[in-house]
């Protein structure tokens, strides 16, 4: 299934960006989340037993339950991640759906300075990742973590304040999104697209 769906109506432009964390990457994230979720549930049961028994260890157990649950949530979130852009004549609404709910931001068209392709955040390579072959999987784990914390490749600047969205999209995926937004706004929303972009240039160099 195409991760991007663009629908244009007379009164509304709707762009849906679905999570790209599917296939092997998605399975890996799900399995890794179970490493935290299953122990979290066991810790919760033991903690309640300790609390009802009057043991102070119950409180400590709840702390560990919160930490393990937070880690599991962060790994599960990309599997349910979705962004919806809705543009009418007055405002652009960006709604982000995740495992724990949704968040909506509204930007009046008159306050949008520019929407541009900013590229992927420059990543820090795992210190134990091998240069030729990632036999131990440190590089794969690092990429999963970077996907979770990534903010997106499209940047909207409104009233001088920047906000990123559209996780893990490629350069050629972003071009039709920006062009549709520019055209639907009758040129009121400025866009910036670099002439070229090296997708493989994703790591910080030292």
**Per-residue pLDDT tens for 127-141?**
544 454 444 444 444
Instruction: Name the average pLDDT for the chain.
Output: 78
Distant-in-sequence contacts of 86-93, Cβ < 8 A, 24+ apart: 86/12, 86/13, 86/14, 86/15, 87/12, 87/13, 87/14, 87/15, 87/181, 87/184, 87/185, 88/11, 88/12, 88/13, 89/11, 92/156, 92/181, 92/189
Evaluate if residue 119 carries a pLDDT over 70.
yes
What class, spelled out in words, does domain 4-21+81-192 have in CATH?
A: mainly beta
Residue 92's pLDDT is 96
pTM above 0.75, yes or no: no
Digit-coded pLDDT (tens) for 44-72: 999 988 888 888 888 899 999 998 888 77
Partner residues linked to 95 by β-bridges = 84, 104
Q: Sketch the domain layout of the chain as residue ranges.
A: 4-21+81-192, 25-77
């Amino acid at each position: 299934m195409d991760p991007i769906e663009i629908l244009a109506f007379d009164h509304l432009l709707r762009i849906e960006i679905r999570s790209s964390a599917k296939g092997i990457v998605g399975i890996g994230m799900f399995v890794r989340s179970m490493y935290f979720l299953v122990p979290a549930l066991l810790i919760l049961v033991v903690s309640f037993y300790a609390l009802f028994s009057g043991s102070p260890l119950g409180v400590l157990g709840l702390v560990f339950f919160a930490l393990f649950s937070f880690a599991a949530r962060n790994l599960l979130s990309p599997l349910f991640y979705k962004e919806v852009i809705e543009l009418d004549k007055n405002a652009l609404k960006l709604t982000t759906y995740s495992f724990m709910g949704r968040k909506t931001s509204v930007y009046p068209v008159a306050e949008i300075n520019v929407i541009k392709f900013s590229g992927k955040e420059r990543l820090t390579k795992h210190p134990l990742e091998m240069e030729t072959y990632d036999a131990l999987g440190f590089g794969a784990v690092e990429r999963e973590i970077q996907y979770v914390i990534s903010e997106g490749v499209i940047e909207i600047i409104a009233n001088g304040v920047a906000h990123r969205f559209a996780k893990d999209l490629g350069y050629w995926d972003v071009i039709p999104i920006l062009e549709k937004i520019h055209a639907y706004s009758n040129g009121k929303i400025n866009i910036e697209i670099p002439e070229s972009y090296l997708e493989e240039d994703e790591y910080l160099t030292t």
